[in-house]
Amino acid sequence: MKVIFRFLKKISNDDSTLVKKELAFLLKDFCTSLEDDFIVELITNVMEGKNEFAKIPIFDVIVALQDHKSLSKLQEFIYTLISNLSTDECWRVRYIVADKIHEVIFILT
């Protein structure tokens, strides 16, 4: 499993928009099985820069985190993440937040 983690960490730092976008889509499917610190690191790496197409699927990762065993530990990070997404300079990213915010109300209350 450590080999997979190293691979994911390496690709989360990739400069390519497409690589980060695909990682973001992939994170949605298995984020509940990852450790808290690793999730934070991967999402933070994907969110770096002006990579709107990598940021858009991150909201689906947030929704998937509702089933994470340590949701309470990740709550502050999720607040910050939603705040950053909702104020992103790209209208597409802000649109996703507006469209899907109802799916994460459980975290915000």
pLDDT in tens, 60-98: 999 998 888 888 888 889 999 999 999 999 999 999 999
Per-residue pLDDT at 1 exceeds 90: no
Structure tokens at 106: 């459980």
Full domain range(s) for residue 43: 2-108
Q: Considering its fold, how many domains does the chain have in total?
A: 1
User: Is residue 7 within 8 Å of 45, Cβ to Cβ?
Assistant: no
Tens of pLDDT, residues 18-42: 999 999 999 988 888 888 899 999 9
Would you say the C-alpha torsion 64, 55, 8, 5 has a positive or negative sign?
A: negative
- Across the range 51-56, mean pLDDT stands at 91
